[in-house]
Amino acid sequence: METMEQILGQQSFFAGFPAEFVALIAGCARNCHFKAGEYLLREGDPADSFFLVRQGKAALEIASPARAPVIFTTLGPGEIVGVSWLIPPYRAEFDARAVEPVRAIAIDAKCLRAKCESDHHLGYEMMKRFLPVMVKRLHATRLQILDVYGHR
Amino acid sequence: MQAAALKDPFVPDICRVASARRELADAVTLELEPLSGARPDFRPGQFNMLYAFGVGEVAISMSVSAHENRGFVHTVRNAGAVSGALAALEPGATLGVRGPFGTGWPVAEAEGRDVLIVAGGLGLAPLRPAIQEVLARRERYGRVTILAGCRSPHDILYQRDLERWRQRLDVTVEVTVDHAGTGWHGDVGFVTGLIPRSPFDPDKAVAMVCGPEVMMRFAAGALLKAGMPAADIYLSMERNMKCAIGLCGHCQFGPAFVCKDGPVLPYDRIAGLLAVQEI
């Protein structure tokens, strides 16, 4: 039976992460499953958790009145669902829905925020992991907005 | 063969439209039969100059391998006067064809290596002949991965081919769209996002990339980041081709003429030019 520390240590997201920090994060982590169609996050809800996907696929969606939701990105194994836990007021910005069964590690954001506040080295390491994720998504969004496949 | 070598490259052959298949709202695939009865021979990645009588001429890549024995097959997007006239042709109509011209995809050179195909939008059309030839001799290649990106699920080109290739157990096929409704169960995101999770050995792979230039530039960047040498990344460039034989200079791209030195060019040769405005 693998421990949570071992499971986290195998994730590329935590590659090179100091072992003592992995242990701290493991104290805030648990395994979780979502059936297809279930929501990992709902827009506006407190960002109490974020998820590291181990298997399956989740879609980030924007819902608007009188329109069907639009999926703007999908996230799969090794990817993070939920970055709003880092940014006040700590509320989910979008819906995250499992488009197929998802197996993930859920990390208690309140627990981790408190640990990051009390240990800024841990907080800095987490920022170093999350900033590239956010920049990569911003970059991808820019390319999507460019609508490069449309007519010139 | 001597007669073919002496043939005036400016004189088009007349071809008949054998079939016209609507692929997308603005794209049609034309199968063309030379009236001479000649069997077209060409390499994946090459292009023809298609002449809509009384309207004009435009460069369009082959979109089916010569090995399929279907004549010249071109997928044309209605993006202007000439391509609009071509896209409106119906079976039985005739048009002028000059070609084939240009360089091809490195299909033979890729033998023994992993093959990564990265297509954006209609860029899958010039890549399809290369895919067909690789899959026809599948045992000669390492892992084969096809990544296709497009605007929405309604804009997926050659959906039946993608489904057929995906059903094979020896090819990885990933399709992503820029945005989708909740009925879509595939990936959503820019095509470059598929590269880091694709199964290929960057030291022994060849990448063939075709799509809008912005997409190709960022795809090449993602491939470099994955560890691929620039010389193993090939892009198919598009410029305003006129003579198609390197005489008129309309398609000059830095020191290269896209019609003659391309359209398929290795990234290490053009990397510095791709970010330069108005080349």
In a domain, B279, yes or no: no
User: Is residue B167 located within the same domain as residue B259?
Assistant: yes
Average pLDDT over residues A24-38: 96
What whole-number percentage of chain B has pLDDT above 70? 97
Question: CATH no. for residue B73?
Answer: 2.40.30.10
Please tell me the total count of domains within chain B. Answer: 2
Does B182 contact A74 at a Cβ distance shorter than 8 Å? no
Residue B95, beta-bridge partner list: B15
Q: Does B181 touch chain A (CB under 8 A)?
A: yes
User: Is residue B125 located within the same domain as residue B237?
Assistant: yes
Please tell me the total count of domains within chain A. Answer: 1
For B56-77, the pLDDT digits (tens) are 999 999 999 998 888 899 999 9
| pLDDT for the residue B26 | 92
What whole-number percentage of chain B has pLDDT above 90? 75
Average pLDDT over residues B179-189: 90
User: Is residue B93 located within the same domain as residue B123?
Assistant: no
Kindly report the nearest CA distance between residue A97 and chain B, in angstroms: 10
| pLDDT for the residue B48 | 95
In a domain, A116, yes or no: yes
The neighbour count for residue A101, using CB atoms within 10 Å, is 14
- Chain A residues at the B interface, defined by Cβ less than 8 Å, are 57, 59, 61, 68-74, 76-78, 97, 99-100, 140, 143-144, 146-152
For A70-80, the pLDDT digits (tens) are 999 999 999 99
Kindly report the nearest CA distance between residue B178 and chain A, in angstroms: 6
What integer best gives the mean pLDDT of chain B? 92
In a domain, A121, yes or no: yes
| Residue span of the structural domain in which B11 resides | 7-101
Residue B22, beta-bridge partner list: B28
Is the pLDDT at B279 greater than 80? The verdict is no
Is the pLDDT at B1 greater than 50? The verdict is no
In a domain, A150, yes or no: no
Question: CATH no. for residue A47?
Answer: 2.60.120.10
What radius of gyration, in Å, describes the C-alpha atoms of chain A?
Answer: 16
Residues of chain B with Cβ-Cβ distance to A56 below 8 Å are none
Residues of chain A with Cβ-Cβ distance to B215 below 8 Å are 143, 148-149
Model confidence band, residue A152 (pLDDT cutoffs 50, 70, 90): very low
The neighbour count for residue B165, using CB atoms within 10 Å, is 19
In a domain, A63, yes or no: yes
Kindly report the nearest CA distance between residue A74 and chain B, in angstroms: 5
Is the pLDDT at B93 greater than 90? The verdict is yes
ipTM of the complex: 0.86
Helices B159-167 + B124-136 axis angle, to 10: 30
In a domain, B88, yes or no: yes
In a domain, B174, yes or no: yes
